[in-house]
Chains A and B, each alone.
Chain A
Amino acid sequence: MKPPLLEITDLSVAYQTDTGPVMALRGANLVARAGEVIGIVGESGCGKSTLAAAVMNLLPATAKVTGGAVRFLGQDILTLAPQAQRALRGTAMAMIFQDPMTAFNPVLTIGDHLVDFQHQSRAPYRAKLARARDQLALVGLSDPDVILRRYPHQLSGGMRQRVAIAAALLMNPQVLVADEPTTALDVTTEAQILHLLRNLRQTYQGTIVVISHHLGVVAELCDRVYVMYAGQVVEQAMVDDLFHAARHPYTRALLACDPASFPNLTPVLPTIPGRLPDLRDPPKGCSFAPRCALRSARCTVAPPWAQVSPSHGVLCHEVGA
């Protein structure tokens, strides 16, 4: 059988800090097949960006991979030589960042960036520029030639995020990671960018990994969703199953807190009581247990991963298996 395009197994990552290591990922698992659109959701601080950075091999120097593997077409990219890792970035996998305001170099034009980002191609400069222009048109920027000569600060946030999407698609990567692609934008712009990303699914053949703490974004774009909590994947399901038959108490709590499910704008939004556990000293058993209504005595031991259906899995003693 062909190996999956992207496979993360038991990945653990710790950030070294003055107050001790922060276990940002604790045995996370994820599989993405060619052409799939995967969503990753979870509260702030649950390790989503760390996961994305690990996929791109962009973890900061203070982060140490303490276990597990990230396989791209069967090959563990964490053990590749730096040169080979670099060769994958931009060509095989590309990333869209959260903050379009600071994602580009202020003293280089958009054209400089987009040509530079094709450095792994041997095409002549003019061809690269033409390619950049085509990509800008593709993401709905009406005057690509003008945009190419602009500096980042001369574009609006929405325009910059479109440029970021165009940039990520320049080399036609097999994996596109979008870390909170709309979080920094206002509601109208967010809707436009979501629309663009949804349309992209028709033309772009690769796999997309969308990270968001916003369930609406995930519902709109994804086929399959991973829910993360405190550095672990706690539930995995097809998007419909997740929204209609969520199992994990944390997923249910997230769904209950989603503002989109309160059309009448209740003045006080419900929140999940309690806080994320301290990742410097994560709980021995189930990490969600302290905040969980279903908690029982066995939650003091780590729960096993349970497959409730071939396409639906959950990390919980009470609702699994």
Chain B
Amino acid sequence: MLSYALQRVGLALVILIVVMLAMYGMVFLVPGDPASVALGPRATPALKALLTERMGLDQPVLVQIWRFFSHTLQGDLGVDVWSKRPVLDQIAEAFPHTLILGIVALGWALVLGIALGVISVVYQGRWVDRVLGVVSVSFISVPSFVVAIYLLLIFAVWLHWLPAIGAGKPGDVTSQIKALILPSLAVGIGWVGYLARMVRASMLEIMGANHVRTARAFGLPERRVVLRYALRLAIVPTISVIAMGLGSILSSAVFVETVFSRPGLGTLITGAVFKRNYPVVMGTVLVTTAFYLLVITAADLLIAKLDPRVRDALAD
């Protein structure tokens, strides 16, 4: 188990290094040198030279890469080309907004998705199951930004129940919670459908298994059979899906945060891409990649912990 954990962490680090190299390469693959692209056609040569120097682009590539890595290791992700603020500070400010959005979205999606999946299994083949099937598939197929726009129109613009933009006033928890509701609905809705389908499929398979028949042969109440004998087992594969969901919040956050103008990572990276603010783009991608790797590695370890078969297979 320990060697498996080390192996997984090692793999995550290798992936992280590859991603960093690829990102650094991106700067050179973009047509035109980064400094003039960033400054636009009317930049004076002096200005360009200054920026080139500030971005470290006048150094040999290997030196640049070395610098990039060693700075990153020291927690220095460079400074914003425009505002000159440290990138790390900006990320540290934005990240909690995105993280809480992801956690809340996935949290309610998890509760509702698993519940709907279990209900589908209990009413398998009946109209409840069919309706839930249609609902789940539509939840999966509607893009989150479309949901975001509709939610915004209905609950903020027409009904005035909830704020349309921002993340709430700092220090005012109620306003922060209110500001979270609509974006987390938009981000989570697809996951509800996805989790419901997934829990249904793996539960149905498990409900036909011999050990479920054994549990019934001992007269265990159906509720106990479903929740203890089937759901516990069905949850295991769901964990990796949850991890991927949490890991990939950035991609849905890009749209949803933009719609709701939440000052999160999605908003940060969108702005940075438009302004060709490379240090910010790179820093954001780096941090989210690291977060993604952290979450899926943790999920793999959790699965190994929850499933004694996996745990033992790893022990040999």
Question: A119 vs B215: C-alpha distance in the bound complex, in angstroms?
Answer: 11
B304 nearest CB across to chain A (Å): 12
Which of A31-39, A99-107, A126-134, A262-270 faces chain B? Answer: A99-107
The number of chain B residues touching the other chain, given as a range, is: 20 to 34
In the complex, are the beta carbons of A86 and B221 less than 8 A apart? yes
Query: With A97-B210, A106-B233 in contact, is A151–B308 under 8 Å at CB?
Result: yes
State which of A88-96, A193-201, A299-307 sits at the interface with chain B: A88-96
A154 is an interface residue with CB less than 8 A from chain B? yes
| Interface size in chain A (residues, C-beta < 8 A) | 27
How far, in whole Å, are A99 and B210 apart by their CA atoms in the complex?
8
Q: Whole-angstrom distance between the alpha carbons of A118 and B308 in the complex? A: 24
Question: Given that A106-B233, A106-B309, A153-B308 are known contacts, is A117 also in contact with B218, CB under 8 Å in the complex?
Answer: yes
Contact A97 B214 (CB under 8 A): yes
Separation of A105 and B224 alpha carbons in the complex (Å): 13
The count of A-to-B residue pairs whose CB atoms sit within 8 angstroms is 76
B223 CB to nearest chain A CB (Å)? 11
Q: Is the interface of A mostly helix, strand, loop or mixed?
A: loop
With known contacts A86-B219, A119-B224, A153-B312, A105–B213 Cβ distance under 8 A: no
Could you mark each residue 212-234 of chain B with 1 if its beta carbon is under 8 Å from any beta carbon of chain A, else 0?
A: 11111111110010001100110
Which of these, B214, B220, B228, B232, contacts A104 with CB under 8 Å? Answer: B214
Compute how far the CA of A107 lies from the CA of B309 in the bound complex, rounded to whole angstroms.
Answer: 8
B residues 190-225 touching A (CB-CB < 8 Å): 209-221, 224
B217 touches A102 (CB 8 A): no
Contact B312 A154 (CB under 8 A): yes
How far does the alpha carbon of A111 sit from the alpha carbon of B216 in the complex, in Å? 17
Query: CA separation between A58 and B210, bound complex, in Å?
Result: 12
22 residue pairs bridging A and B, Cβ less than 8 Å apart: A89-B218, A94-B217, A94-B218, A97-B217, A102-B209, A105-B232, A106-B211, A106-B233, A106-B307, A107-B233, A107-B236, A108-B228, A116-B220, A116-B224, A117-B220, A119-B220, A119-B221, A119-B224, A120-B219, A151-B308, A153-B308, A167-B218
